[in-house]
Structure 1
Amino acid sequence: MKPIGKTCQVAVLTSALFAAPLAAQEAVNLKVVGTWGYLNTWNQVEKPFWTEELKAASNGKITVEALPMTEVGLKGFEVMRMLQLGVFDGAHGIISYLGDDPVAEGADLAGVVQTWDEAKAAVAAYEPVLAESFDKTYDAKLLGVYPFPSQLLYCNAPISGLADLKGKKIRSYSKSMSDLFTGLGATPVTIAFGEVVPALQLGTVDCAVSGTLPSYTSGWGEATTHLVRLSTGYAFSFAAVSKVSWDRMDEETRDIIASNAGAMIDRAWEIGQKDDEMGIACLTDGPCEVGDPAGLVDVALSDADRAQLADVLQATVLESFGARCGAACSATWNETIGRAVHLTIAE
């Protein structure tokens, strides 16, 4: 739990950043925090939905003061807590940042989803489970779930397949990701995103995981030599509104937000996949729309790699998650995501 001082500081800061003008306000004014302000998902999806589309759809009734978490000064794991405390009416965040909640963790287990089709099937199957969990656990109304570009592996070492990861130090940012790398014989290391490039250059880590286009624009292509097509996930993210705020809205406002959220989520999927394809092209041999190709060696998974991955998923990732999740939670996962991607947590 965060010290109360930190919570108060964030509340004061966000109040100042979101300070309303003295003029009379519209009928409904909301405060919303988004994801990373330098990424396309914020600029092309989250921000326009709240600040432009809802205002137009409501004929000016709904106005929203929205800022990305990078401008507010929050870490990803703090976003949901701020929503629960009432600092924001709405929020966007990475589901895997929700801490020790096994239901949330199950949405994006490392290595389970390897393609965009599997990603869509997994989310379609599991979103009702998440919606119920958000309502009961976080007192929040889930508007939808969407991805960022695929979370691939970048190495500053010769890698020809998954067997070469044995003994390597790899940046990880979730429990299941650490389980995956441990199962592959590697050592997971926790490092902040902004510290990855120097860590790779200094040899503190040999490999690291992040989204494709964000990695390119952050200079990872200059600090690595190989791009390994091991998808550790799609950084599935939520758009949600505090139930306190939701229940306070009139029915018309709720209907406008809910009816327009679907198009916002659809656009997030389109942007995520487009950025993924662009990121892979920019990291390898191009063409690259936003700079020079990094020229990384593009390492596709072989049949032997896929067989090894399947073994590690079953013996390490799913077994460890099942122990954290419990019998009922595991059964629900098997009936939803497991069925969609043909995997089963053993009883």
Structure 2
Amino acid sequence: MLRRDVMKAAGGLALAAGAAGTATAQAPTRWDISIPWGPNEFHTVNAQRFATEVRNATNGAVQMTVHAGGSLGVRANETVRAVGDGVVPMAEFTAFQNVGDLPILGIESIPFLISNYDELQIMHSLVRPIWERELERRNQTVLYMCPWPTQLFYFKRPIATAADLRGIRMRTYDRVTAEMCTRLGMVPQQLTNPDVVPALASGRVDAVMTSGTTAVAQRYWEFLKHAYVTNHLWATNFMVVNNDAWRRLPAATRTTIADLGKRLEPEFWNVSKGEHTLRMGELQQNGMTVEDPPAALLQAVRQATATMGDEFVRANPAAGPILQQFRQRVGRA
């Protein structure tokens, strides 16, 4: 509680500084951006580019500073609440890590629902208006979104069948991935990015699920030797701004920044698309085996998670029509 109070006070100062910046032409509006990812991960690099573009487009009137690695004290799974409360004026978060505040954010991460970037864009065309409306109700505005690349499972030893998974302590993201691991006989350990390497070093976890981007950034080859391209879920990051800070900007400035987000978003998606192949090569260069999962293993994972879409709808009835439309559009109705 004390840490949160301190952070909220700091956020209030940042918002106040933003208000002063709009009132005095000579004083820029300064916003801190909370980023959970490491400084070299592509989402952080994207955020840095966005901040630079905003500064240039507003002639320095709005200046954003990116703080990577969760250094502002905002945990990845608390970001929606932190931005809405004004703890920080801006932040980036992964959708499924914030389902505790907004459950519909987990729809794209239903196991094996989405197969590729094209299907992910179809899902976004259906659900993004709902996401943006619900986040607006939580006092924040979405500036852009960008997905993570293909997901993998990483292990210390080769895995051939579902029986080999039993008892393995697997890093998970949220309730859905924890349930998936439980059904496969693994022991879920929910961890955010900064906590994974310490958990690997201490032996708290034996395996990790994540993209190649994070695996390279955190040098997983120092702990894990075998990676399987499971493509078991998709996850999108949101860059959001607190609405109290946002509305203090002149309307023309808000339009400039919003337009920048729209222009850069497709470019950020292209960066994401190139990440998988690039990072797989780096993992292999550092001694990690990267391959598709054995057919028996993949079949077991799919079977274990087959009912999770229906269960998501029972818990979130608004997702039902969205999933129905999505499956029709991708030919899996």
Q: How does 1:61-76 map to 2 (within 5 A)?
A: 61-68=61-68, 70-76=70-76
TM-score, normalising length: structure 1: 0.81
**What is the letter of the counterpart of residue 300 of structure 1?**
D
Equivalent residue, structure 1, for 2:290: 298
Q: Kindly indicate whether residue 76 of structure 2 is the aligned counterpart of residue 80 of structure 1.
A: no
Give the Cα separation in 2 of the matches to 1:204 and 1:58: 47
Report the aligned-residue RMSD: 3.2
Q: Kindly indicate whether residue 323 of structure 2 is the aligned counterpart of residue 334 of structure 1.
A: yes
Give the Cα separation in 2 of the matches to 1:129 and 1:120: 15
Decide whether aligned partners of structure 1 residues 340 and 215 sit closer, same or farther in structure 2, where only a CA change above 3 A counts. Answer: farther
Q: Contact 1:122/1:340 (CA < 8 Å) preserved in 2?
A: no
Q: How far did residue 252 of structure 1 move?
A: 0.8
Q: How does 1:1-347 map to 2 (within 5 A)?
A: 3=1, 5-13=2-10, 26=26, 29-35=29-35, 36-50=37-51, 52-68=52-68, 70-100=70-100, 101-136=102-137, 138-162=138-162, 164-197=164-197, 199-200=199-200, 204-284=204-284, 293-302=285-294, 304-315=296-307, 317-325=308-316, 327=317, 329-339=318-328
Q: How far did residue 318 of structure 1 move?
A: 1.7
Q: How far did residue 338 of structure 1 move?
A: 4.3
Q: Which runs of 4+ in 1 moved over 6 A?
A: 15-24
Spell out, residue by residue over 1:256-276, the C-alpha distance to the aligned partner (whole angstroms, 9 max, x if none). Answer: 011110233223222222232
Give the Cα separation in 2 of the matches to 1:343 and 1:139: 36
Is there any run of 5+ residues in structure 1 with no aligned partner, and where? 285-292
Give the Cα separation in 2 of the matches to 1:247 and 1:330: 31
Give the Cα separation in 2 of the matches to 1:164 and 1:27: 61
**What is the letter of the counterpart of residue 330 of structure 1?**
A
SS in 1 for 2:159: coil
Give the Cα separation in 2 of the matches to 1:20 and 1:248: 11
Q: Contact 1:334/1:343 (CA < 8 Å) preserved in 2?
A: no
Decide whether aligned partners of structure 1 residues 198 and 72 sit closer, same or farther in structure 2, where only a CA change above 3 A counts. Answer: closer
Q: Contact 2:108/2:233 (CA < 8 Å) preserved in 1?
A: no
Give the Cα separation in 2 of the matches to 1:163 and 1:121: 35
Equivalent residue, structure 2, for 1:287: none
Decide whether aligned partners of structure 1 residues 256 and 122 sit closer, same or farther in structure 2, where only a CA change above 3 A counts. Answer: same
Per mean C-alpha deviation after superposition, the further-off stretch among 24-33 and 211-220 is 24-33
Decide whether aligned partners of structure 1 residues 114 and 249 sit closer, same or farther in structure 2, where only a CA change above 3 A counts. Answer: same
Give the Cα separation in 1 of the matches to 2:225 and 2:300: 23
SS in 2 for 1:70: coil
Give the Cα separation in 1 of the matches to 2:104 and 2:82: 20
